[in-house]
Amino acid sequence: MAKLVPLLLVLFSLLLLHGVDPAPPPHACDPSNPTTKLFQFCRTDLPINQRARDLVSRLTIDEKISQLVNTAPGIPRLGVPAYEWWSEALHGVADVGPTPGIRFNGTVKAATSFPQVILTAASFDSYQWFRIAQVIGKEARGVYNAGQAKGMTFWAPNINIFRDPRWGRGQETPGEDPTVTGAYAVAYVRGLQGDSFDGKKTLSGGHLQASACCKHFTAYDLDRWKGITRYVFNAQVSLADLAETYQPPFKKCIEEGRASGIMCAYNRVSGIPSCADPNLLTRTARGLWRFHGYITSDCDAVSIIYDEQGYAKTPEDAVADVLKAGMDVNCGSYLQKHTKSALQQNKVSESDINRALINLFSVRIRLGLFNGDPTKLTYGNISPNDVCSPSHQSLALEAARNGIVLLKNAFKLLPLSKRTASLAVIGPNAYAARTLLGNYAGPPCKSVTPLDAIRGYVKNAVYHKGCVDSVACSNAAVEQAVAVARNADRVVLVMGLDQTQEKEDMDRVDLSLPGKQRELITSVAKASKNPVVLVLLCGGPVDVSFATNDDKIGSIIWAGYPGEAGGIALAEIIFGDHNPGGRLPVTWYPQSFVNVKMTDMRMRSSGGYPGRTYRFYKGSKVFEFGHGLSYTTYAYKFRTLAQALYLNQSKAETNSDSVRYALVSEMGRGGCDLAKTKVSVVVENQGEMDGKHPVLMFAKHERGGEEGKRAEKQLVGFKSVVLSKGEEAEVEFEIGVCENLSRANEVGVMVVEQGKYFLTVGDSELPLSVNV
């Protein structure tokens, strides 16, 4: 037997290398099983809806109820495997949650970890967003084909508006602007699901590469603030704000992105729980926007309708409320526990359950999981070798480079010389690889800290943590850090926040840097031979006005949470191998903004209330939305002449401000298509360095900024251009009156107002008259 063991090991190795294919991922309708030929749901020649209906018709009531939760058991008698609806892919495939659908415990040990979404958004490059999502979808399928996934439904993107700078989950979003957020939603969904960038691709057999789920529907942007939690929060939202700010990204996600999933949120909106609101889920999403997919609750969002919100009188009422509203699957176990008794009490019908299950199984069929072995079908050629591929990691580096924002650069301190004789790197985030990733991150392919990347340029760079504990910095070793700084020609401070300061279920209570970070920064800057570089790793804004006004702090960089390649990108920018071009996707407010209650959902200013986001906020700012510097300079010039648009509307009316207006709904698609114009802007790189530059175009009504009414300005378009030094390019924008110049009136109806509008790019301005 002793001689036999080595021989068996050799044979086993050979089998692994050459002889035996790994077990296929979980799937139904295996053609080697003759019974599958009897099932209509296995027939790929039939419509998906018909196949799903056939499957549901074969289930017992207990089997049906078992499928209404995220961890759905298998149905062995029909050859249907177990399925996990909950998987995460916010900025890379991740093994997050108590029952993760993804496991990195086999051939695949990691996945490409892109920058946290808030930094990715700062590139204002929708094609780059699409490419990132393409990679995430491809890697998700690669993990699935390796047999390390129990589902292919991913609960991303997060497209809530970053309304309040204290929100712990703002880092997960594309920022505060509905136009940017909607564009991000479309790009992400199309990329992940296997569509083309323009949305015109016909998916092979209707099959999805992976399933995207836009969340959290709707008006969700508070987690836990001063004792108020998302589980009980009742968001009082005006009809105007709902129509103009909170809903547009979800409308875009569904109508243009064609997302196959939506998640309803924990919070109530004007008293009604999101997951129990038929107006939201059925009449709006499925009716007006023609959503075809499944709707999941956030985790335990059904139980809280009875247990915490008291909206339902019994658990069975909660079950009835969500199923009749149009929700399909419960993240949690509440429907598994209480649906049968709700059925026995005639509070729900079997048809309510069937409707939900048809939606659920339709998505699984669209994913190709009922067509036999998925590795022999569309997307079956994606292998574990495609996960963490060199091209994917290169895109992660590109995304970090393009998102990082240069906030201040007095006297052109940056870039630093690569021949810097001595350099001190100080701060708790300089040598913290995990901080680079942000939340909802899986294990990265690789990770290089800012310190290690900087040492690639200055090998003998000296490091000091500065804060004795962590970014909380309750105790700072100021004297030692000052001593290190005094002995260096240049100093880079890497400060900011991490997931102990902002994350899901934890909002901030102020906007200052934690603990003694400010003291450490100013002391080091004062003692340094030359002005210092301050790098901020954080998702939400921080008030660093002390640094903007300090001549000893020459440069400030915001790097968000830049992902697995963020340390490298940061070093490249500091030493001039990459020209920064990112622009802030959120307003950076002063510390005084904490006097505004986070629970106040109003966007518009009113009385002493300052309003929110760049569109309505009337108050001082640390940095503006769209702010971002470069190592070169750009100039803009409108090539288009002043224009006038005429809306021939017989039903035009006059509002209380004596301004004539037309209803967008009355104009119809044809009228809106006619009310468009193209505007060209010439962008010139007038500096000494090549660069990539996001061009942002805003529009403002001549009466814009009137308190409680019109926005100060509104982003109407953005495009990214790459220009060599001295080069110019013409950038064209299509401006639609309905899409770009309309606003919501007090009852939430979109209107186009007569008057003069001004289109602006940088300091350049173009008048545009609209006549009704």
Residue 397 lies in a domain: no
> What's the chain's length in residues?
772
Residue 434 placed within a domain: yes
Do residue 87 and residue 209 come from a single domain? yes
- Give the mean model confidence (pLDDT) for residues 302-319: 98
Question: Is position 659 within any domain?
Answer: yes
Please determine, for residue 79, whether its predicted confidence score (pLDDT) is greater than 80.
yes
pLDDT (tens digit per residue) in 393-441: 999 999 999 999 999 999 999 999 999 999 999 999 999 999 999 999 9
Let me know whether 191 and 263 are in one domain.
yes
560 and 454 fall within a common domain: yes
Pairwise CA distance, residues 302 & 324, whole Å: 13
pLDDT at site 203: 65
- Identify the domain containing residue 108 by its residue range: 34-386
**Dist. CA 86–CA 330, nearest whole Å:** 10
Q: What is the CATH number of the domain that holds 129?
A: 3.20.20.300
Band the pLDDT of 649: cuts 50, 70, 90.
low
Count of domains observed in the chain: 3
Inform me whether the pLDDT recorded for 149 exceeds 90. yes
Query: Confidence band (pLDDT; 50, 70, 90) for 706?
Result: confident
The larger pLDDT score, comparing residue 658 to residue 27, is at 27
For residue 650, pLDDT beyond 70: no
Domain assignment present for 17: no
> Do 413 and 358 lie in a common domain?
no
Cα-based distances in Å from 700 to 352, 586, 640, 737: 47, 19, 17, 12
Same domain, 71 and 104: yes
Per-position b or e across 247-271, b if 16+ CB within 10 A of its CB? bbbbbbbbebbbbbbbbbbbbbbee
Are residue 423 and residue 325 in the same domain, yes or no?
Answer: no
DSSP state of 131: H
Q: What is the CATH number of the domain that holds 524?
A: 3.40.50.1700
Q: 195, 223, 298, 321: which one is catalytic? A: 298
Average pLDDT over residues 213-223: 98
Residue 431 to residue 114: CA distance in whole angstroms = 19
Pair 303, 296: CB distance under 8 Å: no
17: buried, middle or exposed (CB in 10 Å: 19+, 13-18, 0-12)?
Answer: exposed
DSSP H helices in 236-367: 239-241, 248-255, 278, 303-307, 315-325, 334-344, 350-366
My answer on whether 678 and 540 are in the same domain is: no
The closest of 494, 571, 568 to 538, measured between CA atoms, is: 494
Q: Do 87 and 152 touch, CB atoms closer than 8 A?
A: yes
Asked whether residue 620 is assigned to any structural domain, the reply reads no
Examine the domain organization and report whether 415 and 379 are in the same domain.
no
Q: Is there a single domain that holds both residue 572 and residue 641?
A: no
**How far is residue 645's CA from residue 647's CA, in Å, rounded to a whole number?**
7
Q: What is the pLDDT of residue 427?
A: 98
Same domain, yes or no: 513 and 661: no
Give yes or no for residue 657 having a pLDDT over 90: no
Whether 185 is covered by a domain: the verdict is yes
Q: What is the pLDDT of residues 504-527, one digit of tens each?
A: 999 999 999 999 999 999 999 999
Rounded to 5 degrees, what angle do the CA atoms 95, 101, 106 make? 65
- Do the beta carbons of residue 399 and residue 122 sit within 8 Å? no
CA distance 757 to 770: 7
Residue 310: other Cβ atoms inside 10 A: 10
pLDDT at 268 over 60: yes
Same domain membership, residue 230 and residue 89 = yes
**Average pLDDT over all residues of the chain:** 94
Tell me whether residue 298 is one of the annotated catalytic residues. yes
Pair (640, 760) in one structural domain: yes
Cα–Cα distances (Å) from 129 to 192, 421, 578, 723, in that order, read 10, 39, 20, 20
Query: 3-state SS of 516-567?
Result: CHHHHHHHHHHHCCCCEEEEEECCCCCCCHHHHCCCCEEEEEECCCCCCCHH
Residue 23 has pLDDT above 80, yes or no: no
What pLDDT is attached to residue 659? Answer: 86
**SS3 state at 225:** strand
Final residue before a domain boundary, out of 352, 386, 420 = 386
Kindly report, residue by residue over 177-204, the tens digit of the pLDDT: 999 999 999 999 999 999 999 998 876 5
Q: Could you tell me which residues come within 8 angstroms of residue 751 by beta carbon, excluding any fewer than 6 positions away?
A: 655, 661, 662, 663, 664, 742, 743, 744, 745
pLDDT at 22: 60
| Best CA proximity match to 326, nearest among 367, 256, 273 | 273
In a domain, residue 42? The reply is yes
Could you give the CA distance from residue 356 to residue 319 in angstroms, rounded to a whole number?
Answer: 12
pTM of the predicted structure, to 2 decimals: 0.96
Name the region of 153 (left: φ>0; alpha: ψ -120 to 50; beta: rest).
beta
- In the chain, what is the straight-line distance between the N-terminal and C-terminal CA atoms, in Å? 94
User: Among 13-27, 43-57, 79-93, 361-375, where is mean pLDDT lowest?
Assistant: 13-27
Q: Would 636 be classed as within a structural domain?
A: yes
Task: Please tell me the distance from the alpha carbon of residue 387 to that of residue 94, in angstroms, as a whole number.
Answer: 12
